[in-house]
Structure 1
Amino acid sequence: MKSSRLLTILLLLETRGRMTATELAEELEVSVRTVYRDVEALHTAGVPLYGDAGHRGGYRLLAGHRSRLTGLYAREAEALVLAGLPGAAEELGLGAHFADAQLKLRAALPAPLREHVDRLRARFHIDAPGWYAEDDDTRFLPRVAEAVRAGRVLAVRYRRWKEPTDVDRRLAPYGLVLKAGRWYLVAGPGPRTYRVDRILALTVTDEEADIPAGFDLAAHWRACQEDFHARLHQGEAVVRISPRGAARLTGAAARALAENGVPEPDGWTRATLPVETPDHAHATLLALGTDVEVLAPPALRDRVAATARALADRYG
């Protein structure tokens, strides 16, 4: 969009200084002629932008010119990092700072760009959690976030899935991750991952957290996700599945069907699908009803058949 390019030109010149039309065109992946038109639009909007001729020429902003963002406070700057997710800023206790930062950012833009931003805000909304997700208990999230920012050890009482369920832990917070509407704390020792909604009690201590030098939260989370998916599907099931059943497959099963499925004369498809535990495979394949036939392994086929017979007996 043109308004997006105008903002990019403005920010490029603020951060890099003088740039030629050719350099701007290469950066924006547009023609030099388009850059000339965009520069003229910035002139019209009142931006103090000047062009110098000659070998060392190029476009530059009037000396000392900066976008009017100097009034941002630290919390408002933090809220800007979450600008794509206002709900996340609210949960972290930064909702008011987010609103203030948005107002200052809007005021800093030339009128045409301000109108463009207003149109985008009116037409885009992010609602990350799924339709059937229950509301998590995140009452401790702002304090966890404060400990992450300050680098302070947390003393928590945490509820886990195995016995003993309620345990006390001292955690060095490395960072927070929002995944599918749910907040996770990555913390040492380990590091390990903790669901924030399972924290039962919390104290932010004065002890400084020892975070390994060079720790990369995003890289760590990607590695955890890859390991999770590698361990998730360790079994296989050979099935015949109807077109209607195939349309209901998702995730790894849908990908496997597309990659190794063999069409059969009756319109069904034979494929080897990845499965999790025997219990999960049994429940998942039963949910497809008469649109799937389990061929192997024999134990899974027998179990599905036994359940089908029991259902037939129950319903007469």
Structure 2
Amino acid sequence: MKSSRLVSILLLLQTRGRMTAADLAEELDVSVRTVYRDVEALSAAGVPLYGDAGHAGGYRLLDGYRTRLTGLTEGEAEALFLAGVPGPAAELGLGPVLAAAQLKVRAALPRELRTHADRISGRFHLDAPGWYADADDTPYLPAVADAVWNARVLHVLYRRWREPTDVRRRLESYGLVLKAGRWYVVAGPGPRTFRVDQILELTSTAEEFSRPKAFDLAAYWTAYQQEFHDRLHGAEALIRIAPGTVLTGPAARAAEVNGHTDTDGWTRATVPIESIDQAHDAFLRLGAAIEVLEPAELRERIARTVAALARLYA
């Protein structure tokens, strides 16, 4: 709707400062011509909005102009309070700050939106960590977050899985990611990814670094996850599964894509595996509902285990 778009332009200029028509058009997913019309409408409504020509030009609001208009819809107000995850905020040392911010936003909302926001807070709770796993001990998380925010170099003693296990690293911390209850810091040079709970010692410094302008944390993390899964599932197994058998994870997706049904109703598919050991344990959980055809090493390993079980329970 046009009214919602006008509010968005006003808030974008208020929070970001000078923006070109092309920038606004890209942000709002409209044409530049539409932005021109919207800017004229805002000016006609008395909003002190100015346009400067030239290479460094763009639209801006008169210095000091602020609007009390939030532009929040009912759904946006609900999403705002749903996104306020208290656990991760507290881990970052921002628990009181988050509570204060939510209190101020709540006070500024119209009564009907405040009611919806309160309903969300009372009916939904986000718990990031998975089941059956102890919470990570991350005493250095606030210091890492501070380094991310202020672009300051860290010197850490880090524990990795391969030898030598304990290594010293200089980190230019670009960003923090919370994945399944576990914190990761993405740091240069590289960049590379480090688990915050594996930092054994940390020394903060006054040395500043320049974060690469082209670095996109979300894009990096998406690519990193894909690369991780590609490395993790570097082998394949040919299997047959009985009707109604439920696979999980990458194996389920692979079976759905390339599986085909034999005359006896079983589905034959090539699925990714991490290793012989991992696949051995995972496939045995399915009992007689799965048959491994290849690789021969995995089939023989499972056959030996099944024979041993048969002797044990004879």
TM-score, normalisation: structure 1: 0.75
Alignment of 1:259-274 (within 5 A): 259-274=257-272
After the TM superposition, which of the residue ranges 57-66 and 193-202 deviates more from structure 2?
Answer: 57-66
Asked if 1:178 is matched to 2:181, the reply is no
Q: Which residue of 2 aligns with 1:255?
A: 253
Q: Which residue of 1 aligns with 2:201?
A: 201
Query: CA 1:65–1:193 in structure 2 vs 1: closer, same or farther (change >3 Å)?
Result: closer
1:183 is displaced (CA, Å) by: 0.3
- Matches of 1:273 and 1:234 in 2, distance apart? 11
Q: Which runs of 5+ in 1 are unaligned?
A: 18-26, 28-54, 70-79
Query: CA 1:82–1:274 in structure 2 vs 1: closer, same or farther (change >3 Å)?
Result: same
Asked if 1:66 is matched to 2:67, the reply is yes
Asked if 1:132 is matched to 2:95, the reply is no
Q: Which residue of 1 aligns with 2:302?
A: 304
Query: CA 1:61–1:315 in structure 2 vs 1: closer, same or farther (change >3 Å)?
Result: farther
Alignment of 1:215-294 (within 5 A): 215-244=215-244, 246-247=245-246, 249-294=247-292
1:178 is displaced (CA, Å) by: 0.7
1:216 is displaced (CA, Å) by: 1.4
1:241 is displaced (CA, Å) by: 0.8
- Matches of 2:228 and 2:84 in 1, distance apart? 27
1:57 is displaced (CA, Å) by: 9.2
Alignment of 1:106-125 (within 5 A): 106-125=106-125
- Matches of 2:261 and 2:158 in 1, distance apart? 50
8 Å contact 2:238–2:270 — kept in the other structure?
A: yes
1:133 is displaced (CA, Å) by: 2.4
Q: Cα deviations across residues 241-262 of structure 1 (Å, max 9, x unaligned)?
A: 1234x31x11211111112222
1:304 is displaced (CA, Å) by: 1.0
Q: Which runs of 5+ in 2 are unaligned?
A: 14-27, 29-39, 49-64, 71-79
- Matches of 2:279 and 2:188 in 1, distance apart? 34
1:60 is displaced (CA, Å) by: 5.3
1:276 is displaced (CA, Å) by: 1.7
1:303 is displaced (CA, Å) by: 1.3
Q: Could you tell me which amino acid in structure 1 is paired with residue 67 of structure 2? A: R
Asked if 1:15 is matched to 2:11, the reply is yes
- Matches of 1:263 and 1:252 in 2, distance apart? 19
Q: Cα deviations across residues 255-295 of structure 1 (Å, max 9, x unaligned)?
A: 11112222234332222111121221222112211111111
Secondary structure (helix, strand or coil) at the match of 1:175 reads strand
- Matches of 2:233 and 2:170 in 1, distance apart? 33
1:8 is displaced (CA, Å) by: 5.4
1:225 is displaced (CA, Å) by: 1.1
Query: CA 1:169–1:138 in structure 2 vs 1: closer, same or farther (change >3 Å)?
Result: same
Query: CA 1:13–1:155 in structure 2 vs 1: closer, same or farther (change >3 Å)?
Result: closer
Q: Which residue of 1 aligns with 2:187?
A: 187
Q: Could you tell me which amino acid in structure 2 is paired with residue 15 of structure 1? A: L
Alignment of 1:20-31 (within 5 A): none
8 Å contact 1:86–1:98 — kept in the other structure?
A: yes
Q: Which residue of 2 aligns with 1:213?
A: 213
**How many residue pairs are counted as aligned between the two chains?**
266
1:84 is displaced (CA, Å) by: 3.6
8 Å contact 1:13–1:61 — kept in the other structure?
A: no
Q: Cα deviations across residues 201-234 of structure 1 (Å, max 9, x unaligned)?
A: 1111111124323211111111111211222222
1:105 is displaced (CA, Å) by: 0.4
8 Å contact 1:83–1:98 — kept in the other structure?
A: no
Q: Percent identity?
A: 56
Q: Could you tell me which amino acid in structure 2 is paired with residue 283 of structure 1? A: D
1:138 is displaced (CA, Å) by: 1.1
Secondary structure (helix, strand or coil) at the match of 1:243 reads coil
Q: Could you tell me which amino acid in structure 2 is paired with residue 315 of structure 1? A: Y
Secondary structure (helix, strand or coil) at the match of 1:313 reads helix
Query: CA 1:164–1:56 in structure 2 vs 1: closer, same or farther (change >3 Å)?
Result: closer
- Matches of 1:122 and 1:60 in 2, distance apart? 39
Query: CA 1:122–1:132 in structure 2 vs 1: closer, same or farther (change >3 Å)?
Result: same
- Matches of 2:5 and 2:125 in 1, distance apart? 26
8 Å contact 1:82–1:89 — kept in the other structure?
A: no
Q: Which residue of 2 aligns with 1:104?
A: 104
- Matches of 2:82 and 2:203 in 1, distance apart? 25
- Matches of 1:57 and 1:202 in 2, distance apart? 51
1:81 is displaced (CA, Å) by: 11
Q: Could you tell me which amino acid in structure 2 is paired with residue 158 of structure 1? A: Y
